[in-house]
Amino acid sequence: MRDKQETARQIRVGVIGAGGMGERHARNLTHEVAAAQVVALSDVDAARLGVVAAACGVTHTFTDADELIRHSDVEAVLIAAPDRFHAALTQACLAVGKPVLCEKPLALSAAEARRIVDAEVAGGRRLVQVGLMREYDPAHLRVKQLLDSGALGKVLAFRGVHINGGALSWRTVEDVITNSAVHDLHSARWMMGDEIVRVYASHAPYSADRPDTARLVLIQLHYRGGAVGHIECNMEAGYGYEVDVKLTGERGSAETSSLQSAVVRRDNQRGQWIEQDWLQRFETAYIHEVREWICSLQVGAPTGPSAWDGYASMLVADACIASAKSGQPVDVDIPEMAEMYRRT
């Protein structure tokens, strides 16, 4: 499946990070987006860098990401380095006026994300998009469209389930919330079209003597408009990867079906194959994400999840961390967004 975008104005992209996500984005941009060309790639792991650069026919390779950002051949940057580098690399892109698609989370705290928002607003135009890619998942979009059509009436509740097959190592509460649950927190804002005003988060640690770890996090949400919500983020289900949402309105409900595979009946059993990980579950969403990003750059500025969305999701994430640690509900105060972030 290759898109039919006009190739006359190709956008030359530099990708930072050639791990699982960086490779997927680089391959998608190369093979699925006619209007994009990956001209530069950066990774601190030179061997990894060489493998992905060869697979995508990349001309310029760098072990220093800042050199990639500054290179004159690079028009736009995609950041898929580990989370702790996101804020500084995004700021470096803003400093040279280059559009950037930064993987989630935009930063490790709301304060750090706010500094990016402030820098972008000071520049007067949108340059940042954040990889909150569930907005590009067809299953999520079908539910969102139904909700927005008014068919379900006023929406009363959001439910999100995020099941990971297994973590390589025990994860801290902070990491689970900022790295994983941040996707669900964004879905909870975006799909409901309302802001979260209070959260109550609790977690099951990997072991009783490591309460700083979280194998499973439960988050209760309260919305400005009176609706309520609930998110379950399981880091180690041990059987596969699933992400689903259910929205309940006054006149009905709608939910996604995570599983893409056929339903098979055999030997007195009914079964369905479960995706291994996000790369399988969101295969289509990742293609649509970079395709629409490039399309938006061809005609002007990014239109997908913004630095503001990255900031707002981190405000909620910070409140979830504080709640999980204190055992108390925590209020969230999301300020009025700057005009340039309003989506039509």
Site residues (vs ligand NAD, CB under 6 A) = 16-22, 42-45, 48, 65, 80-83, 85, 103-104, 131, 133, 179, 278, 282
* Token pair listed for 295: 């399309």
Per the CB < 8 A criterion, the answer to whether 92 and 69 are in contact is yes
The residue sitting closest to ligand NAD, measured at its beta carbon, is: 19
The residue (of 87 and 227) whose beta carbon lies closer to ligand NAD is: 87
Rounded to a whole number of angstroms, the minimum distance from the CB of residue 122 to ligand NAD is: 25
Eight-state DSSP code of residue 171 = -
CA distances from 127 to 42, 124, 245 (A): 20, 9, 30
- The nearer residue to ligand NAD, 133 or 330, going by C-beta atoms, is 133
Structure tokens at 189: 């804002």
For ligand NAD, the closer CB: 68 or 156: 68
The answer for residues whose C-beta is within 8 angstroms of residue 176's C-beta and 6 or more apart is 203, 214, 217, 233, 235
Closest separation in Å from C-beta 90 to ligand NAD: 12
- Residue 80 or 330: the one with the smaller Cβ distance to ligand NAD is 80
- Report helix, strand and coil shares of the chain as percent, to nearest 5: 40, 25, 35
Q: Which is nearer to ligand NAD, 156 or 317 (CB)?
A: 317
Q: How far is the CB of 174 from ligand NAD (least distance, A)?
A: 13
* CB 155 to ligand NAD: min, Å: 25
Select from 72, 83, 81, 180 the least CA-distant residue to 134: 180
Instruction: Work out how close the CB of 285 gets to ligand NAD at its nearest, in angstroms, rounded to a whole number.
Output: 8
**Rounded-to-integer distance, Cα 331 and Cα 54, Å:** 49
Peptide bond preceding 105: is omega within 30 degrees of 0, i.e. cis? Answer: yes
Helices of type H across 44-169: 46-56, 65-70, 86-95, 110-123, 138-149
Residue 22 or 160: the one with the smaller Cβ distance to ligand NAD is: 22
Nearer to ligand NAD, 129 or 248 (CB): 129
Q: Report in angstroms how near the CB of residue 149 gets to ligand NAD at its nearest.
A: 27
What are the counts of helices (DSSP H) followed by strands (DSSP E) for the chain? 11, 15
**Least CB distance to ligand NAD at residue 115 (A):** 18
